[in-house]
Amino acid sequence: MLPPTILSIAGSDCSGGAGIQADIKAISALGSYAASVITAVTAQNTLGVQSVYPIPADMVKAQIISVMDDLQPDAVKIGMVHDAGIVTVIARCLKKYCPKFVVYDPVMVSTSGRCLMTEETIRAIKVELFSLCTLVTPNLSEASLLWGQVITDTVEMQQAARELSGRYNTAVLIKGGHLEGNNMCDVLYYQQPSAGADDLPSGCILYSTPKIESRNLHGTGCTLSSAIATFLAGGSKLDEAVRKAKEYISTAINQGKDMNIGHGNGPLWHFPLSE
């Protein structure tokens, strides 16, 4: 009776709220085994990112090979990929090892709207990486960048998700956490064939939930994508995995909303609260 093994390929957040650290917490809280490949070491905290040091591509490759050869992960989650060389290494390893599920959270744009990647890196991701993924989970800013125009409502989210899914041959979940109003709506679009959605017809599913008032939202994207990968590895179909992951992250936001960890945008709370 072995739990699923999930490999997170992402950057390290020394403050523990996002990146590899958030991934390990989410995967562990959901009862699976977390392995990690670090793509960058960051100096960051709840107030922002102060510095980023990319790990050399050959070292990223060595980490992936070590995990893949021994642990044979059931799913892979990809987060921060800082340069084109690392994109190429990851893509080649995915082709070699063919993990059943790959969930990619494309960390392309900061909360303030600043692009975090060079054009070369974005081009490499579009050409080499997207088509190898089961699911890509851009936020509104990232989806707008990929689509080529600003997305402002759920109608445009559905249009963008459909076009991006067809363009890159992968399922797309656009996260609507920054939409105006009191509800948060995410839009999933998948088409055949898509790993994890083999018995589902093509189309959009909208996931609408009330917004939770909280300043502690550091690591929500990392947590959601890790949770989706974990549920896929556990046997859930794609739409069910997204639904369960959204329920998990809502709980984690609720549990962390009144905490004071750090002086800025604090983290979620992944585990049951002590009595």
Q: What is the mean pLDDT of the chain?
A: 91
Cα gap 137→245, rounded to integer Å: 12
List, in order, residues 6 or more apart from 205 with CB less than 8 Å away. Answer: 187, 188, 189, 239, 242
* Mean local confidence (pLDDT), 180-200: 70
Confidence of residue 114 (pLDDT cuts 50, 70, 90): low
Question: What span, in angstroms and rounded, lies between the C-alpha atoms of 188 and 205?
Answer: 5
Lowest mean pLDDT among 106-110, 137-141, 249-253: 106-110
Residue with tokens 């905490």: 259
At 226-245, the pLDDT tens digits run 999 999 999 999 999 999 99
160 secondary structure, DSSP code: H
Strand, helix or coil at 199?
Answer: coil
How far apart CA 252 and CA 239 sit, in angstroms, is 20
Query: Which tokens in the block code for residue 251?
Result: 């709980």
Q: How far is CA 126 from CA 11, 15, 19, 43, in A?
A: 20, 30, 21, 27
Percentage of the residues of the chain whose pLDDT score is greater than 70: 93
Task: Report the pLDDT value the prediction gives residue 195, as an integer from 0 to 100.
Answer: 47
pLDDT at 274: 66
**Mean pLDDT, to the nearest integer, of 66-83?**
96
Q: What is the residue type of 274?
A: S
Distance from C-alpha of 130 to C-alpha of 135, rounded to nearest angstrom: 8
Residue 203's pLDDT band (boundaries 50, 70, 90)? Answer: confident
- Say yes or no to pLDDT of 131 above 80: yes
Query: Which tokens go with 62?
Result: 């060595």
User: Which single residue is written with the structure tokens 């939202």?
Assistant: 217
- Per-residue pLDDT band for 260 (boundaries 50, 70, 90) equals very high
The pLDDT tens digits of the residues spanning 154-172 come to 999 999 999 999 999 999 9
Q: CB of 176 within 8 A of CB of 211?
A: no
Mean pLDDT of 114-126: 87
Q: Is the pLDDT of residue 60 over 50?
A: yes
The CA–CA distances, whole Å, from 269 to 14, 43, 119, 143, 146 equal 16, 21, 35, 27, 31
Provide φ and ψ at 194, rounded to 5°: -135, 120
Instruction: Please indicate, yes or no, whether the overall pTM of this predicted structure exceeds 0.85.
Output: yes
Asked if residue 132 lies in contact with residue 94, where contact means CB atoms within 8 angstroms, the answer is: yes
